[in-house]
Every structure is written in C-alpha cells, then in structure tokens.
Amino acid sequence: MQIDLTGRTALVTGGGTGIGAAIARALAAAGADVAVHYGHNAEGARAVARDVEAAGRRAVVVGGDLTDPAQADAVVLAAVEGLGGLDILVNNAGHLVGRATVGEMSDEHWAAVMGVNVSSTFFVCRAAVKHLEVSGRGRVILMSSLASENGGGAGSVAYAAAKAAVVGFGRGLAKELAGSQVTVNALAPGFIGDTPFHNTFTPTGAQAAIVSGIPLQRAGTVEDVAGTAVFLASDLASFITGQVVDINGGANFR
C-alpha cells in the first residue's frame, strides 16, 4: 500500500529547517505541492523548495512572523494563491525560546513562548480553516512535544505548558471541523537528534544521557516524524482525528 498525495496542496510552517524541512520534502515525495514557510531562515526555505521542485512538485516560499495575526493571514493567503488551494496544513513552527524556571521567568519570556507556540498555531489555523473546509479532504497536523506529557527538561515549564495547550486546541478544533471532513491531529516528538532545537538547547552530554534512557536505544530522526506526518495527511488516516501521535522510541507510555 503506497501513499499518494498527488493533486493535494500543503503548507508547512517552519519548513526551512529540521523537522519542518523533512516534512515538506516527504509530502512532495508523496506527490503534494508544498508551500514552505520560514520565519528567519529564507535560504533554508528556498533550498527545501528546490528539493520539492526536484521531486516534480510545485513549491512556494513564503516568509512571515506567525505571532502577528496579519502576517499569519498573509502567509496562508500566499500559500493558497500560489498553489491554488489548501488541503494540508502542517503547523510545525514553534520554539523553546530559552530555559527558565518559574521563579526566575519574566513576563516577556512566558509571553514569547506562548506566542511562538500557541498563538501562532491559532492564527494560522484561523486563517486556513475556510480553505480546508472546502477541500473535502482537509488535514491539520499540529506540533506538540513529549514535553507536554512529562513536563520537559529543566527550565522548560513554559514550553511544556504551551505544547499541552496545542493538544487541547487541536482536540477542540477536531470537533469543530469534523462536519467538513477535516481531520486534526498532533505529533508529539521525543528526542529527535541533530535538529536545531536540541543542537541549541541540549548539551551533547545531556543528549547521550537522553538516548540511553530511550527503550529503542537511539535518537529519533526527522524522517521518523515526517513519515508519520505524511500518513496523517493521507487517505489512510481519514478516520483518525483529535489524536496525539507519540514519536519517542518508547520514552513515554500513555
């Protein structure tokens, strides 16, 4: 059984690097045309777009600060106009921002974490809903985290809270959009190696310790996450909605 997304259009936020880039490439490999969004890394997004085109698909590159509702609206509109519609939304953009305990956390830090992870998700989904509802096979894939389940590492309480909020938002949205045959699910990656996130915020020694505690005894890869995203975007997942898919090598069991 092969997944075929030919004729479908997708927007991947934060698609210029890491997990987002892998998802954009995997969607294209499965046949989808892809709009690659970036917040800061324009060159990375252009490189991913070239890979999408090399796979024989159409690509659109669009930049914008998704914590600004007007820019989020513009990003979605650019994707829709560039590709002729929107069938698949992968709301991948998000960030730890930095590590801070509750006692030392500033109002600005809390607001920044919520903005880049929660508000941006809401703004993009709000702009995309009307396009997904007319698709007839709309898919929304949100990005949560293992941190939403286990509280995350030291100093990541705001991030854990934000990613838990994404899950709650997704379940509510799944109920709202079910009548239009739009499914909404979230991915919850655990430790995914060699990504900008962990290369920035997780010291090498800590990474080795994390891997030693994973039952499958390896770090996850961006391809592990991308493959799951492609499945959720496909017809094979048409009866799955309101769910969180853990991708953590057994590091946490529900």
- The pLDDT tens digits of the residues spanning 72-93 come to 999 999 999 999 999 999 999 9
Cα torsion angle, 228, 233, 238, 242, sign: positive
Catalytically annotated residues? 159
Does the structural domain 9-245 have CATH classification 3.40.50.720? yes
In 10 A of CB 113, how many CB atoms?
25
Domains of the chain by residue range? 9-245
- The pLDDT tens digits of the residues spanning 52-71 come to 999 999 999 999 999 999 99
- The pLDDT tens digits of the residues spanning 21-53 come to 999 999 999 999 999 999 999 999 999 999 999
What are 42's two structure tokens? Answer: 């324009």
Whole-model pTM? 0.95
What is the amino acid identity at position 35? A
- The pLDDT tens digits of the residues spanning 134-153 come to 999 999 999 999 999 999 98
